[in-house]
Structure 1
């Protein structure tokens, strides 16, 4: 398996790679990862990830100067390095997690040797182009060239996947390729702890990279528009290059005391932050699935998200949260306020709806499907659409929640 980001990086592609690799290893397979080095660590190492031992081949890399954490391998060495590892390991299958550099070498050299290639697309030009030196006037051309480039590489794959149906349709439209599999990144819901007690404060949480494509200035401004009597606090969990700008924005808006930056946190601390939150917010317009949103849902949180790309696959408007028109700050503020003012019985219905809608995204299903793809077997894409909950059943849930609270108070 190879891509341009892997642990200790914290992002959706890296998280998915770690979870899938560890899951495959837990079923008795020998998993090797081709990844960038961090610091002086180069060579093949046995590393423990999510309780499983993986062989990680760390390639010499440098920090990309226009990005706050991304490390890139040297492009003129990638084919040589990939070929060397492939000839040592002699894998049955290669799985490309990105097409930029490491995935390019892994795919090209595996294809030359007749090794089956599976590719997963996490690529959205919007997530990368602002970290290039190209002027904005050239971005449409650069985006077109980037899609042409990845199409050439994806043609070498025996199977091509992406996390959602909407992302698959988008990928097919941009590349002209057909039969893209929609396979959820998956999540283990038992790792998270929903809290159904009435919340004692109003906390909005975002988890992810603190960077431009996440549209976080919109979220900070929306929090400033929420009436002060609600005392809404915002936790922006993660690291990134626009943190200082967001701190300055919060200061200008007079809400610096209510916007918090926990930074990169441990898994345990993240679960605690999610469990105590009131609502999860995702204003990004370029999510192919959003593992972070799934983590919020697994923690029993209603979600307010932009009606863009794959987020409507996770957020059913009025059932487990609300969608808002992308970049519409007033609408974002209104949807957040609506959740914060919600009576507890209605709020609990939304909490349980998040858990219900997430059930088809079980990580074990994802691992099984990739096992079959690796073997070259036919697969049927998992059904992740959950039928809408009838209004009558939602009212029954509200009634049960009211009765339970009444019994507790008595």
Structure 2
């Protein structure tokens, strides 16, 4: 098949959406499909490269002034139209309903191409970046969902990574056909393994204390501040490892100093994938206090490495973390309950082992190869339905022309 993936976030950008779109494009290309990616360029010129078997077209953009690392392209309408006509994709898959997504959707209608859209966004991810005023955030959330639903209702099909995410769209008025397809995780890469002592030494991680790992963007809605408050209440001598960067990092470091827990918390910043895999394998527990995740790749990767998980009982996290099975849930924002839950599991190594094994069982349903098969089946079905509908319209038009009475000579 010929598949075009349109996204406002793609490597070298860092985050969940860049990982998902990259792995989908590369995975489909490896299965023999022709894949094009349309994405923003970090520089001042449009760029076309073949990357890992994928034709990647990057268009000139500028950084979003209120959201670091997000970029806004300079309306490349004509180049994308030429690309669509030349590539003639069977399906267009939009992952970002903003600039490039809007252009692709608009052009797809004129060129009669079927469009799938995947929702990765919660308005709270952006509203908390724009302002701390809750009244503003509520109005922004309402406007954001109105925009998202208007966009998605013009697509042939809509997907979300979880049932929670799909329910949110339905609650706000989604009418387009829709379904759930997980973001998936590479179980060949993410799996249990021996600890790498060289990585441990390089990051100065202790050998005589349990390691509690958190991996995420350091931003307000991820609620890392709740985890730091919990650290100050722990009975155990756990060592907290924070991997990630973000706009809240300076504030979180100041919080750690204020709580006098600097010796118990490591801010690792950005960690390369290979090192992060090694750190997951030496961790005893994964914690995610976020209140703004529609799935959480970080949690899925931790589960694939056989870790038990402590998670906030918020949004889609309970779809991954089954309370009492592969981890425990705590009330969102409740640092005291979080501290008690961490202590409870660290005191019970056999329970952690059982929960880690259950994580491996649950995450098997999210194997990336399985997910790629689901995408292929959906693409093929929609492309076939779209082609059949076009054929029926052509037949109806021909029949109408034949029935028209001829003019007298």
Structure 1 residue aligned with 2:352 = 347
Give the distance between the partners of 2:45 and 2:183, measured in 1 at CA. Answer: 28
RMSD over equivalenced CA pairs, Å: 2.0
Deviates more, 1:208-217 or 1:81-90: 81-90
Larger Rg: 2
Measure the CA separation in 1 of the matches of 2:317 and 2:151: 27
Q: Is structure 2 residue 22 aligned with structure 1 residue 24?
A: no
Contact 2:149 2:169 in 1 (8 A): no
Query: Could you say which residue in structure 1 is the equivalent of 2:66?
Result: 66
- 1:289 aligns to what? 295
Shift in Å, 1:13: 1.4
2:225 matched residue in structure 1 = 217
Question: How far has the Cα of 1:180 moved from its partner?
Answer: 2.1
Paired position in structure 2 for 1:280 = 286
Please give the TM-score of this superposition, normalised by the length of structure 2.
Answer: 0.86
- The separation in 1 between residues aligned to 2:119 and 2:188, in whole angstroms, is 27
Contact 1:62–1:73 at 8 Å: present in 2 too?
yes
**Matched position secondary structure for 2:6:** coil
Q: Which runs of 5+ in 2 are unaligned?
A: 196-206, 385-409
Rounded Cα–Cα distance in structure 1 between residues aligned with 2:213 and 2:383: 40
* Bigger shift: residues 64-73 or 292-301: 64-73
1:151-208 per-position Cα deviation (integer Å, ceiling 9, x unaligned): 22212221110011122112111233254211111112221242589x8531111112
Indicate yes or no: 2:211 matched with 1:203.
yes
Structure 1: 5+ residue stretches without partners: 380-410
In 2: Cα distance, 1:142 partner to 1:68 partner: 18
Work out the CA distance in 2 between the residues paired with 1:235 and 1:84.
48
Counterpart in the other structure of 1:2: 6
- Name the structure 1 match of 2:43: 39
The whole-number CA distance in structure 1 between the counterparts of 2:77 and 2:344 is 53
Partner of 2:158: 160
CA distance in 2, matches of 1:257, 1:40: 43
Question: 3-state DSSP class of the match of 2:39?
Answer: strand
Which whole-Å CA distance do the structure 1 matches of 2:222 and 2:98 have between them? 21
Q: Which residue of 1 aligns with 2:325?
A: 319
Q: Secondary structure at the match of 1:316?
A: coil
Is 1:226 paired with 2:254? Answer: no
**1:118·1:373 contact (CA, 8 Å) conserved in 2?**
no
> What residue number does 2:261 align with?
255
Deviation at 1:114, TM superposition (A): 0.6
Distance, in Å, in 1 between the alignment partners of 2:100 and 2:130 is: 18
- Are 2:44 and 2:61, in contact at CA under 8 Å, matched by a contact in 1? no
